[in-house]
Amino acid sequence: MLSLELEGIGKWFGERKVFENLNLKLENPTCLAVIGPNGSGKTTLLRIICGLIRPSQGKVSLKLDNQVVKKEAQGPFFSLVAPDLQLYDELTAFENLKFFSQLRDAVYSKDNLMQKIEQVGLKKREDDLVSSYSAGMKQRLKYALALLSSSKILLLDEPSSNLDEEGILVMEQIIQQHQEVGIVILATNDLKETQYAQQIFKLGN
Amino acid sequence: MPSKFSNWVTKITAVFKKEIKSEFRTRYALNSILMFAVVTLTTLSFTVGQFALTNPVKSALLWVILFFSAMSGLAQVFIKEEERRTASILKLSALPNVIFLGKFFFNLVLLFMLEIVTIPLFLILLSLQVESWLLLLVILLLGSLGLTSATTIIGAIVSKTNVKGTLLTVLSFPILLPLLVISIQGTKLALDGSHLAGAGSEIIFLLSYTIVMLTASILFFETVWME
């Protein structure tokens, strides 16, 4: 059993308060949609959850089978797919996946990487530099990376951003598969995307 | 089942290899440090090459070139991650010490490449006579290790700011001054023909500087990187 708990989370950027005193507890399997107007702090919240930003107040705790997971060991539990998350343009798609699979202790074999690439519909483009990819292809590659890591918590910021219809089907499949075993948290402005979620968390007024 | 240590080494190697591949495809740092070194050397040879320079002056000139060339390129390893917004995914994927050491070894290789090009040119253009090659190599090796450890952590700090160029010089000066002074002194001794034993205090200082700087950098890096 994996549980993610936010206790009294608040964040300020200088004088500007983004949100304060957020409390939330999630246990797998589940899917949560975080909604709210622009600037309400959806992206900030996802980044706080995975440890990329420190909260101004409160804490995020992760427990596996009721044992607290130490902060420095939490990295492999999270996968993040977000528009502002960039992969290496000067590497090919395959090289990007190979590099991150080595860093994240993922199973590295050519077949495994190719399977993920095929799963997101990038077969035959795996040896192209990521700089030659369209925004939608880059988004698909981020999903391939999320699949590769087999992280228990999948954080999706604007999940269908830049994706075409086929890409959205791939995304839906991944969300479906992941929420059966782990925790999916998606931040979105598109209310259609909340259909994937069992819980909705609203930020802002 | 790989041990924890070999797993850690594999990850550092992965970061190092990624940096090498990335650098040879983008020439982000290599071009700037090599161009800086070659232009400075050529200018120096035209302006002061005709004069009979003393060994202390020649040693100082060598380290001034290495220092400013290193400043123009080595800090880029972290600046480019921030500028190209690839830092976030790297933070999520690896422990800070893995990233630091991977980038440290890459910077070290970059500095050695710079020295392979610069030093023979420097010897030829400024008509340098080296009396003790072994001592010169030891001083260059230890000086490069110290220069790389300091520049790598300073690069990480600077990458988080908006005034990268200015801050890099301001932060580097007090940290690197002792290293440069002793490296210049050691190089002078090598040009004069001193043996290794004659430069014992310089060698011990450079070795200690590198160990202290590298240890402090690894401990301090997590705070800088995750900020």
- pLDDT at position A109 is 85
Instruction: Tell me the pLDDT tens digit for each residue of A59-111.
Output: 999 999 989 998 888 888 999 999 989 999 999 999 999 999 999 876 678 89
Ordered DSSP codes for chain A: -EEEEEEEEEEEETTEEEEEEEEEEEESSEEEEEE-STTSSHHHHHHHHTTSS--SEEEEEEEETTEEPPGGG-GGGEEEE-TT----TTSBHHHHHHHHHHHTT----HHHHHHHHHHTT-TT-TTSBGGGS-HHHHHHHHHHHHHHHT-SEEEEESTTTT--HHHHHHHHHHHHHHHHHSEEEEEES-GGGGGG-SEEEE---
Instruction: Tell me the pLDDT tens digit for each residue of B83-108.
Output: 889 999 999 999 999 999 999 999 99
- pLDDT at position A28 is 87
Q: What phi and psi values does residue B212 have, to the nearest 5 degrees?
A: -65, -45
Q: Tell me which DSSP letter residue B131 carries.
A: S
- CA of A37 to nearest chain B CA: how many angstroms apart? 24
pLDDT tens for chain A, residues 1 to 205: 899 999 999 999 988 999 999 999 999 899 999 999 999 999 999 999 999 999 999 999 999 998 999 888 888 899 999 998 999 999 999 999 999 999 987 667 889 899 999 999 999 999 999 999 999 999 999 999 998 877 899 999 999 999 999 999 999 999 999 988 899 999 998 888 899 999 999 998 6
Q: Where are the domains of chain B?
A: 2-225
B16, B86, B89: best mutation site toward chain A, by most A Cβ within 10 Å? B89
From the centroid of its chain, how far is CA A69?
Answer: 19
- pLDDT at position B25 is 92
Beta strands A153-157 and A78-81, pairing class: parallel
How many CA atoms are closer than 13 Å to the CA of B72, on its beta-carbon side? Answer: 19
Question: Confidence band (pLDDT; 50, 70, 90) for B110?
Answer: very high
Is residue B1 pLDDT above 60, yes or no? Answer: no
Instruction: Tell me the pLDDT tens digit for each residue of B186-216.
Output: 999 999 999 888 899 999 999 999 999 999 9
| Residues linked to residue A11 through DSSP beta bridges, in sequence order | A19
Count of CB atoms situated within 10 Å of the CB of B2: 10
CB pairs under 8 A between A and B: 63
Cβ contacts of A79 on chain B, cutoff 8 Å: 92
* A105 in contact with B, Cβ within 8 Å: yes
**Alpha carbons A144 and A142: distance in angstroms, whole number:** 5
Q: Which of residues 38-57 of A touch B (CB under 8 A)?
A: 47, 50-52, 54
What value does the mean pLDDT take over residues B40-57? Answer: 86
